[in-house]
Amino acid sequence: MTVDPSEAFALFYKNHSGPVFRTLLAGTLNRAAAEDATAEAFARAFAHWDTVAVHPNPRAWVLRVAWNCYRSSWRKWEGRWSADPPEVPSLAPEAWSDPDLMAAIRRLPQGQREVIVFVALGELTPTQTARVLGKAAETVRSLLFSARVALHRALAEATDLEEDDD
């Protein structure tokens, strides 16, 4: 029994649209841009579903397209958007509902923030993340290491502050 391609895509969209959006949101800190890029990427995935469906990692394919859409739109509107993106509300999944963690991620430099959300939230390997972001794999590993160190320090400080309040 063969699966109808549109049903297969609908299932793929149902399972992956949320994680892709949350990854873009955490990486961009811009809800509207993340929504637009996610929608565009899934539209392109649907248009090329015969190719995407057999890709070794279809979600990575969509993430790369979404990230490229975001970067492309950012360049187009760069002078019109404010330099400081709006504060992002909670990112919903239980694993990412820790306000101290999300605040620490928001404070990371952009490169570190992008890498940590693609690896941790996007569930990509550093090599896949490098392809999505258009960076060298070693650069991604270095940024990932720096991001993890910074997050560890920030969370340790938050824990110390909580203990001091008690």
Write the pLDDT tens digit of every residue in 49-103: 999 999 999 999 999 999 888 888 765 554 444 444 333 333 445 545 677 777 8
Number of domains observed in the structure of the chain: 1
The pLDDT score that the predictor gives to residue 103 is 80
84-115 burial: b if 16+ Cβ within 10 Å, else e: eeeebeebeeeebeeeebbebbeebeebbbbb
Name the average pLDDT for the chain: 80
Instruction: Give the 3-state secondary structure of residue 123.
Output: coil
Segment 137-161, tens digit of pLDDT: 899 999 988 888 888 888 888 776 6
Nearest partner of 39 among 56, 24, 58, 57, judged by Cα: 24
pLDDT of residue 94: 53
Question: What pTM, to 2 d.p., does this model score?
Answer: 0.64
Q: What is the pLDDT of residue 91?
A: 41
Between 26 and 1, residue with greater pLDDT: 26
pLDDT, tens digit, for every residue of 113-130? Answer: 989 888 887 788 889 888
| Residue 2, φ and ψ in degrees, nearest 5 | -95, 150
What residue numbers bound the domain in which 106 lies? 5-165
Separate counts of helices (H) and strands (E) for the chain:
8, 0
Which CATH number is 112's domain given?
Answer: 1.20.140.160
Angle between helices 58-77 and 126-133 (to 10 degrees): 30
> Looking at the predicted structure, is the pLDDT value of residue 10 above 90?
yes
From residue 10, give the alpha-carbon distance in Å to each of 14, 49, 108. 6, 11, 35
| Whole-number pLDDT of residue 164 | 57
